[in-house]
Amino acid sequence: DIQMTQSPSSLSASVGDRVTITCRASQGIANFLAWYQQKPGKVPQLLISAATTVQSGVPSRFSGSGSGTDFTLTISSLQPEDVATYYCQKYNSAPLTFGGGTKVEIK
Amino acid sequence: EVQLLESGGDLVQPGGSLRLSCAASGLTFSNYAMSWVRQAPGKGLEWVSTITASGGSRYYADSVKGRFTISRDNSKNTFYLQINSLSAEDTAVYYCAKGMYSGTYYFDYWGQGTLVTVSS
């Protein structure tokens, strides 16, 4: 099965900083990658599908890139409301594996 | 507005069984695959199972294969997860989620979750 590895597992950044989270697949998955945001105590929410398609209603500071095995979620200017854990998920084929998550905090 | 409402979570003894339900509204339920995703306390998300729109295909994580059964009743806009032979490792919040098809599925709507606790 394809493994999904996120890095870092946690980060602390200042408001306004550019934040980059990486997700690596152990085999190529084309662009079949989604990103989710889970705020503390809340339900996960879909941010990005097809590696780069930002969902309606998601702030424009969020963007995704990558294809094949290496993917990136970028927050261009970190805001206090972005404190959350972020997960990638592959969906090229079952199993529909999630990455281990990246916890983002404000410094 | 799409709404998903889980029910059925409970405190269960090891080896026990439980059936979770997820009632959907605000969508043409029979058009969409539906899934279960779980999250153990303090841990990350783990995909559990997916059932296609017609119910004709079902997919399971290796960790639950043979113990969990997903099903759906399109006439009731509801799908289910029968979970058997529970162990402490199955303790988690179980979310139901609507699938968007592309390759397989990602999840665009999630329920609030139902807590399954396995303990003696």
- For an interface test with B, the pick among A58, A91, A97, A103 (most B C-beta atoms closer than 10 Å) comes out as A91
Q: What is the pLDDT of residues A39-85, one digit of tens each?
A: 999 999 999 999 999 999 999 999 999 999 999 999 999 999 999 99
Using the predicted structure, report yes or no on whether residue B102 has a pLDDT greater than 80. no
Residue B100 has pLDDT above 90, yes or no: no
d(CA B60, CA A89): 16
pLDDT digits (tens, 9 = 90+) for A11-42: 999 999 999 999 999 999 999 999 999 999 99
Q: What's the CA dihedral at B34, B40, B43, B47 to 10 degrees?
A: -20
Q: Is A44 on the interface with B (CB under 8 A)?
A: yes
* B78-83 and B68-73 strand pairing: antiparallel
Read off the pLDDT of each residue in B7-14 and give the average, rounded to a whole number: 97
Q: How far is A56 from chain B (nearest CA, A)?
A: 11
Considering CB atoms only, which of A30, A50, A87 is closest to B45? A87
